[in-house]
A and B are shown apart, each in its own frame.
Chain A
Amino acid sequence: MSNMLLEAKEIHTYYGASHILHGLDFHIREGEGIALMGRNGMGKSTLIKSMLGLVRPRHGRVLVRGDDYTRARTYQTAQQGIAYVPEGRGIFKSLTVRENLLMSARAGIDGRREWTFDRVMATFPRLGERINNGGWQLSGGEQQMLTIGRALMTNPDLLILDEATEGLAPLIAMEIWRIVKEIRKTGIATVIVDKNHAAVTSICDRAMILVKGDVVFDGTSEEIRARPELIQQHLGV
């Protein structure tokens, strides 16, 4: 498919002897939004890490726009316009907000620079108020905004958010979702891993549920919202 952005084919990933992903298939097209859901330990983050080269799958292939990136280093995959907002945020705490943002600034793979420093400031006005503060001085919500802002500074085609609202107060989480929704409207493809199925399915077109390293549901967000028994069974809420 010409608009296919990232694919995983028959991925098997292990942690030592533990078989985590069982021949899993995944794909996302340009502009698409996917809610990747499942209980803890079902393989969501491992799938993301397997595709980004942070964990090496033992079998299977990873394709970026049809090219084989199975053995690519993480930075090489990232340079294909894939930005990752990891669980735990991972900002540089000794750098200021400005430095965290500017250090990741680069053009997208087609040379476009839609996400400038000023645009990120406009999207996250709170960061503007903290621009000269060190990363260590930021609250959890501010760190999350900084991590997303930093990812946008790479002008990505695909933004992957892993547990973006984990541990945040409800009001802050809602503000993050509001901003992510605005980002989605710009056409950036997005994979969102989160436990809040209501929030993520309202933002994404497609939803996947993983159970023990297998895909048990892959359909539209509308379909999953119409099937509360699936949510009950696999997400335990």
Chain B
Amino acid sequence: MSMKSLDVIRDEHRALAAMLSGMRTIVQGIEAGRLKPDYDLLASMIEYIDKVPEKVHHPKENEYLFAKLRLRCAAALPVIEALEEEHRLGEARIATLRAALEDYRQQGETGFAAFSDALRIYIADEWYHMNTEEGQILPLAKAHLTEEDWVEIDAAFLANDNPWQGPAGEYAALFSRIVNTAPSPVGLGG
């Protein structure tokens, strides 16, 4: 069985983790006084997380991986339901983060702590979510899904050639802009 989709899922997680890690480093830099806030850059990073992981990655997991595993492994049900609930809340969570950034943009320095807290919570939730998927769901999927299941799941995930660019590469420009703008050591910007 190929199970290539598992690699794609992990790759997509790495892409999200890289973006989150970059945001955390930038916020730490602002907090330490090394960096000035670039609100547009932070907004672009949130936009990327919203467009790619939230709207592309999570629906694929729900529709293909989780749907098949539901049928094959009863023990996975509580975990799947918890993860699906987190997916459902994803849009609201990203909206909270975006609102915190807009408050920070409006209020300046006084809004920093609230944005930093919102980001910290978002990152912690995402790490927990990805660890649950990789630590519990992927091993169960490997153990219980059939060859036919994998053919269908692989087809859905492998349609996405470059996970961090969006299904048709439509977010490559956004990604490149972030990399080119983000200050060192996160990106190539000044």
Query: Could you list which residues of chain A lie within 8 angstroms of chain B, going by C-beta atoms?
Result: 125-126, 129, 139, 141-142, 169-175, 178, 181, 198-199, 201-202, 222, 225-226
Return B103 CB to nearest CB of chain A, in Å: 25
- State whether the Cβ of B78 lies closer than 8 Å to any Cβ in chain A: no
Q: Is the CB of B7 within 8 A of A181?
A: no
Inter-chain CA distance A129–B165, complex, in Å, is 22
Q: Is the CB of B175 within 8 A of A178?
A: yes
Closest B-chain residue to A202, C-beta based? B11
- State whether the Cβ of B94 lies closer than 8 Å to any Cβ in chain A: no
Q: Is the CB of B14 within 8 A of A178?
A: no
Q: Is the CB of A178 within 8 A of B165?
A: yes
Within 8 Å by CB of B176, from A125, A202, A222, A225, lies A125
Inter-chain CA distance A31–B146, complex, in Å, is 35
Within 8 Å by CB of A198, from B11, B22, B164, lies B11
Q: Is the CB of B14 within 8 A of A175?
A: no
Q: Is the CB of A171 within 8 A of B187?
A: yes
- State whether the Cβ of B145 lies closer than 8 Å to any Cβ in chain A: no
Q: Is the CB of A171 within 8 A of B7?
A: no
Return B178 CB to nearest CB of chain A, in Å: 7
Using A170-B17, A175-B179, A198-B14 as known contacts, list a sample of 10 further A-B pairs with CB atoms less than 8 Å apart, ordered by residue number in A: A125-B176, A125-B180, A139-B184, A170-B21, A171-B18, A171-B182, A178-B162, A202-B7, A222-B2, A226-B3
Chain B residues with CB below 8 A from A125, complex form? 176, 180
- State whether the Cβ of B156 lies closer than 8 Å to any Cβ in chain A: no
Interface centre among A142, A175, A201 (most CB of B within 10 A): A175
Q: Is the interface of A mostly helix, strand, loop or mixed?
A: helix
A-B contact pairs, 6 of them (CB 8 A): A172-B187, A174-B15, A178-B164, A198-B7, A202-B7, A222-B2
Closest B-chain residue to A176, C-beta based? B179
Give the size of the chain B interface in residues (CB under 8 angstroms): 30
Query: Could you list which residues of chain B lie within 8 angstroms of chain A, going by C-beta atoms?
Result: 1-4, 7, 10-11, 14-15, 17-19, 21-22, 161-162, 164-165, 172, 175-176, 178-180, 182, 184-188
Chain B residues with CB below 8 A from A139, complex form? 184, 188
Closest A-chain residue to B142, C-beta based? A228
Q: Is the CB of A172 within 8 A of B179?
A: yes
Q: Is the interface of B mostly helix, strand, loop or mixed?
A: helix
Closest B-chain residue to A138, C-beta based? B188
Q: Is the CB of A141 within 8 A of B188?
A: yes
Interface centre among B7, B11, B161, B164 (most CB of A within 10 A): B7
Within 8 Å by CB of B180, from A126, A173, A222, A225, lies A126
Q: Is the CB of A170 within 8 A of B22?
A: yes
Return A69 CB to nearest CB of chain B, in Å: 35
Task: State whether A169 and B162 are in contact (beta carbons under 8 Å apart), knowing that A175-B176, A226-B3 are contacts in the complex.
Answer: no
Inter-chain CA distance A110–B2, complex, in Å, is 39
Chain B residues with CB below 8 A from A226, complex form? 1-3
Inter-chain CA distance A139–B180, complex, in Å, is 11
Closest A-chain residue to B11, C-beta based? A198
Q: Is the CB of B165 within 8 A of A169?
A: no
Within 8 Å by CB of B22, from A126, A169, A178, lies A169
Chain A residues with CB below 8 A from B184, complex form? 139
Inter-chain CA distance A70–B118, complex, in Å, is 60
Inter-chain CA distance A210–B10, complex, in Å, is 24
Within 8 Å by CB of B187, from A169, A199, A202, lies A169
Return A114 CB to nearest CB of chain B, in Å: 21
Chain B residues with CB below 8 A from A199, complex form? 11
Closest B-chain residue to A201, C-beta based? B7
Q: Is the CB of A171 within 8 A of B10?
A: no
Chain A residues with CB below 8 A from B161, complex form? 181
Q: Is the CB of B4 within 8 A of A225?
A: yes
Q: Is the CB of B162 within 8 A of A181?
A: yes
Inter-chain CA distance A142–B190, complex, in Å, is 11
Return A91 CB to nearest CB of chain B, in Å: 15
Q: Is the CB of A171 within 8 A of B179?
A: yes
Chain B residues with CB below 8 A from A126, complex form? 180, 188
